[in-house]
Amino acid sequence: MTRAMLLCAGLGTRLGAVGEALPKPLLPMCDLPLVRYGIALLVGHGIRDIVINLHYRPELFQAALGDGSKLGARIQYSHEPDILGTGGGLKQALPLLDPDGTDEPFISMNGKLVLDVDLAGLLKAHRAAGNLLGTMVVRRVPDAGDWGAIQVRDGRVRDVFGQGRHMFCGVHVTRPSVMRELPDGEACSIRQGYVPWMHSGRGEVGAFEYDGYFAEHSTPDRYLQGNLDLLDGAALRHPPGALVGVDATATVHESARVVGPVRIGAGARIEAGATVGPGAVVGHGAVVAKGAAVTRSVVWPTATARGGVDRAIVTAEGTLTDLA
């Protein structure tokens, strides 16, 4: 049985006030928590046993996801009083990822991502390659150095953080016995794991190339653009729910204008004379006030948008404007 771990324990420091309001993986993307996209991708590939590591505001994850049964998953949580990093978090969670000691390969995925990688193909490639330390999902990009360049040759990762034309997409498959060799405490599965192990000759790391939609949401600009991409039809074979359209329980005043593409969530209210769209997400229970205009923006659940709102994020605590 293949299991997976969604890494959700990090702090959203680059998101500023947005990251203080919610943990990154719970940011609303087209009115659905960001982590739901990773869960939907896993479940869509038949992977239902999922571990999620938590640090900041763990109660919010449990309220949003529960035991996963409503999402077709079986979710368990691994709490980290101190952040353990991408490798230390996996090592702590090994009793949940390998409860029977079978050392079956498992998938690790960053919880702040939206992508459409073929996980079945990833697992098949990893198993077919033989005794690899792991297989990393990589993507050829023009700015690889900004992401920590990956050098790929003959289907293998040859170097990381040096010269290369690929970036790591935050998804890899490995075995419990491999992650168990990481140092105790905080550790990175790449810096303290794959890189020194490769260079010491202990083993090889596979490279699984991916060229589909990819977005990570570590800054307000990237977060906003990710919402707009989804409204514009970014290709996802396993979306977590409706990403475009007006929910049947939303109220739109007869004098209001809705210009697609938009997502207007359950119980939202669009008041008289307001304009929503193009390129607008209005979360569940949110309000677009009388005469307001919301374009290329995200209005968080239960927040209220007033006046002219363009390229902005509107939360209950305030509005973040002038986004790129």
pLDDT tens-digit readout, 177-193: 999 999 999 999 999 99
Which pLDDT score, from 0 to 100, does residue 268 have? 98
Instruction: Indicate the average pLDDT of the chain.
Output: 96
| Domains of the chain and CATH, by start | 3-216 (3.90.550.10), 244-320 (2.160.10.10)
Which pLDDT score, from 0 to 100, does residue 287 have? 98
SS3 131: coil
Which pLDDT score, from 0 to 100, does residue 16 have? 80
182: CB partners within 8 A, 6+ apart: 87, 88, 90, 91, 189, 192, 193
Confidence tier at 140 by pLDDT (50, 70, 90): very high
Which pLDDT score, from 0 to 100, does residue 3 have? 98
Q: How far is CA 187 from CA 21, 91, 199, in A?
A: 27, 9, 18
Q: What is the DSSP letter of 27?
A: S
pTM of the full structure: 0.97
Which of 253, 109, 269, 129 minimizes the C-alpha distance to 203? 129
Q: What is the DSSP letter of 31?
A: T
pLDDT tens-digit readout, 224-275: 999 999 999 999 999 999 999 999 999 999 999 999 999 999 999 999 999 9
Check whether 19 has a pLDDT greater than 80: no
